[in-house]
Amino acid sequence: MYLTFGTPVNRRTQARACAIFAALLLGCAPAYAQEADFTLEAALQSAMSRSASMQAAQSSVRSSAEAAVKAGQLPDPMLKAGIDNLPVNGDQRFSVGQDFMTMRRIGIEQEWVSSDKRQLRTDLGNRMVDRERSGYLAQIANVRQQTATAWLNAAYAKQSVALQQALVMHMTHELGATGALYRGAKASAGDVTQARVMLAQAQDQLLKSRQSLTSTIIGLSRWTVTPVADVVGDPPAPISTVPSLTPDQLKQVQPALIAASADIAVANADTAVATSARSPNWTWEVAYQQRGSQFSNMVSVGVSIPLPIHRGSRQDRDVAEKAELSTKARLMFDDTQRQVGADIRNLATVLENGRERLANLNRTLLPAADQRVQLATAAYKAGTGSLADIFAAKRAQLEAQLQVLDLQRDVSLAWAQLEYQVIPPNIAAVQ
């Protein structure tokens, strides 16, 4: 269909077509705009701002905050109404205004909780808010650690693809050169076949590496929420300051220790509330009683006082129960502290050992692999070596590079487990 300019109908048709085309472009734009290249920092920011688990943890914190406000309030008063001394037989049966003892009653009853008790309940509520907040901080640490791990896996998978691509390009070049030599009667058919086999193997490894890269990109998208097109930037240097943190510093930024400390605070506050419950709450009541018109109306005032006659088997048992839970919380904190310390020391050892191994491989293995390729190439050109020797040297060189790359990935993943198991102090202080 061709649109011509001139008549109003054609102009309107063209305008309508342009509008539809523009709408299609605008509708498709978000689909393309959603995919993005992510640096490590950008991936962490996206994950933290979009994580559903973190939003759920925030809702839990807000829920506990509402409960903490309620904990310090007096119980709702109770409206009481009734009829006292209603006759049920005789001439005045079911009459509410003839017998002098019959009264219609309305009153208010209020359980009174002392300000000290209410303050203790408020403190318990606040400690429970802190415990929920520790769960939120744990979600932050988990999201950051999982995102960093996914990004590093994708970054190293990308480097592996680059190495495999370089090998395929080299093998393709070698196959072309070998074919030319064969046509010039300077290479055998076996050399050509060997080159084809090596190229096929290299291409297969490249396809495998690309699939691995795709899988890691999909895995990263799970945490960033936004689809990832590519990862950019180099992995950070595997150096962590976490092993140098003191126990007091760790208690402020390590989620497991923060949670264990919060459990102690909750248990202590709960024990204080149970101790205060040994003194019962009094209940006050005021009622207005209306009798028949020929009789006086009345006002009644009363108080209800619970009698803890079995305090040793009830209230004291509650206090003992909460005290044992406090002891449990303190012991669990000690165990968690030992576990966190052992994990940090172990990861720090793995990191240090990995850096030493990388330095050794870069100093010995890679130069030796490069030299082997050079020697095999020189021997082939001099007529004293075979093409198969060059292929073997190239394969060994790639394997050496992949070995170093795998070790770099393992070291970086250990670094991520160590570095991102704590919350940055600025985030821990604000959240």
Structural contact between residues 54 and 140, judged by C-beta atoms closer than 8 angstroms: yes
Q: What is the Cα–Cα distance from 121 to 277, expressed in whole angstroms?
A: 11
Over the range 12-23, which residues count as b (16 or more CB within 10 Å of their CB) and which as e?
Answer: eeeeeeeeeeee
* Amino acid (one-letter) located at 165: Q
Q: What is the Cα–Cα distance from 401 to 397, expressed in whole angstroms?
A: 6
Question: Which pair of structure tokens corresponds to residue 54?
Answer: 């973190």
Per-domain residue ranges of the chain: 1-33, 39-73+119-279+310-430
- Output the DSSP codes for 309-368: TTGGGTHHHHHHHHHHHHHHHHHHHHHHHHHHHHHHHHHHHHHHHHHHHHHHHHHTHHHH
Any idea which residue has 């994708």 for tokens? Answer: 154
Q: What is the Cα–Cα distance from 223 to 213, expressed in whole angstroms?
A: 16
- Output the DSSP codes for 307-318: --TTGGGTHHHH
Q: What is the Cα–Cα distance from 127 to 110, expressed in whole angstroms?
A: 28
Would you put residue 396 in left (φ > 0), alpha (ψ -120 to 50) or beta? alpha
Q: What is the Cα–Cα distance from 76 to 336, expressed in whole angstroms?
A: 42
Angle at 182 between CA 179 and CA 183, to 5 degrees: 90
- Burial, 299: exposed, middle or buried (Cβ in 10 Å; 0-12, 13-18, 19+)? exposed
Question: DSSP letter at 236?
Answer: P
Q: What is the Cα–Cα distance from 302 to 283, expressed in whole angstroms?
A: 8
pLDDT of residue 8: 38
- Burial, 360: exposed, middle or buried (Cβ in 10 Å; 0-12, 13-18, 19+)? exposed
pLDDT beneath 50: ranges in the chain? 1-33
CA neighbor of 407 nearest in space, from 82, 122, 160, 129: 160
Question: Which pair of structure tokens corresponds to residue 323?
Answer: 């005290």
Question: Which numeric CATH code is attached to 39-73+119-279+310-430?
Answer: 1.20.1600.10
pLDDT of residue 28: 37
CA neighbor of 339 nearest in space, from 216, 228, 249, 255: 255
Question: HSE of 244 in the Cβ direction (CA atoms, 13 Å)?
Answer: 3
The reported pTM is: 0.79
Dihedral, CA atoms, 220, 354, 204, 159, nearest 10 degrees? 50
Question: Which pair of structure tokens corresponds to residue 377?
Answer: 């190439």
Q: What is the Cα–Cα distance from 249 to 242, expressed in whole angstroms?
A: 10
- Burial, 242: exposed, middle or buried (Cβ in 10 Å; 0-12, 13-18, 19+)? buried
pLDDT of residue 429: 66
Any idea which residue has 């402020």 for tokens? Answer: 252
pLDDT of residue 27: 40
pLDDT of residue 428: 66
Structural contact between residues 95 and 102, judged by C-beta atoms closer than 8 angstroms: yes
pLDDT of residue 430: 57
User: Model confidence over 297-347: pLDDT tens digits?
Assistant: 999 999 999 988 887 778 889 899 999 999 999 999 999 999 999 999 999
Q: Residue 340: helix, strand or coil by DSSP? A: helix
Any idea which residue has 């300051």 for tokens? Answer: 241
CA neighbor of 66 nearest in space, from 122, 140, 112, 138: 122
The alpha-carbon radius of gyration of the chain (Å, integer) is: 39
Q: Residue 97: helix, strand or coil by DSSP? A: coil
User: Model confidence over 62-90: pLDDT tens digits?
Assistant: 999 998 888 888 899 999 999 988 888 88
Sequence-separated (6 or more) residues with CB below 8 Å from residue 337:
247, 257, 260
Dihedral, CA atoms, 361, 366, 368, 372, nearest 10 degrees? 150
